[in-house]
Amino acid sequence: MSVIGKIVTLLRGSARELGESIVDANGVRIYEQEIRDARDAIAQAKNDLAGVMAKEMQSAREIERMRAEIERLEKLAVEALNKGKPDLAEEVAARIAEQEAELERQTQLHADYALQSNRLKDLIKTSEAKIREHEREVQMAKATESVYKATQSIADNIVSSGSKLVSARESLDRIKKRHEDLADRMTAADTLDRDLGTKALEIKLAEAGIGEDIQRKSKVMARIQARQAAVESKA
Partner 1 sequence: MKSLQERLGGLDTVLSARLGGAPVSLQPMPGEIPVIQTVIGGREELPIFITASDAQVLCICYLWKDDEIVPEKRLELLELLLDLNPAIPLSSFGKVEGRYVLFGALSRDARIDDIASDIVALSDNAIDALDALSGYLS
- Distance of alpha carbon 72 from alpha carbon 96, whole angstroms: 10
C-beta of 69 vs 135, nearer to partner 1 = 135
The answer to whether residue 2 forms part of the interface with partner 1 (CB under 8 A) is no
SS (H, E, C) the chain: CCHHHHHHHHHHHCHHHHHHHCCCHHHHHHHHHHHHHHHHHHHHHHHHHHHHHHHHHHHHHHHHHHHHHHHHHHHHHHHHHHCCCHHHHHHHHHHHHHHHHHHHHHHHHHHHHHHHHHHHHHHHHHHHHHHHHHHHHHHHHHHHHHHHHHHHHHHHHHHHCCCCCCCHHHHHHHHHHHHHHHHHHHHHHHHHHHHHCHHHHHHHHHHCCCCHHHHHHHHHHHHHHHHHHHHHHHC
Q: How far is the CB of 103 from partner 1 (least distance, A)?
A: 58
Q: Give the count of residues interacting with partner 1 (CB under 8 A).
A: 32
> Per CB under 8 A, which of residues 169..188 are in contact with partner 1?
169-172, 174-176, 178-179, 182
Residue 54 has, within 13 A of its CA and on its CB side, a CA count of 6
Binding of partner 1 at residue 65 (CB under 8 A)? no
Nearer to partner 1, 43 or 155 (CB): 155
Considering the complex, what minimum distance in angstroms separates the CB of residue 16 from partner 1?
Answer: 7
Could you tell me the smallest distance in angstroms from the CB atom of residue 219 to partner 1? 46
- Closer residue to partner 1 (CB): 167 or 233: 167
Q: Rule CB under 8 A: say whether 15 interacts with partner 1.
A: yes
Site string for partner 1, 85-124 (x = CB under 8 A): ----------------------------------------
Task: Choose between 50 and 147: whose C-beta lies nearer to partner 1.
Answer: 147
Query: In angstroms, what is the minimal distance from the CB of 9 to partner 1?
Result: 17
Between residue 117 and residue 176, which ones bind partner 1 under the rule CB under 8 A? 139, 142-143, 145-157, 165-172, 174-176
Distances (CA, A) of 23 to 30, 103, 146, 230: 12, 58, 9, 105
Minimal distance, residue 222 CB to partner 1, in Å:
52
**Contact positions vs partner 1 (CB under 8 A):** 15-16, 139, 142-143, 145-157, 165-172, 174-176, 178-179, 182
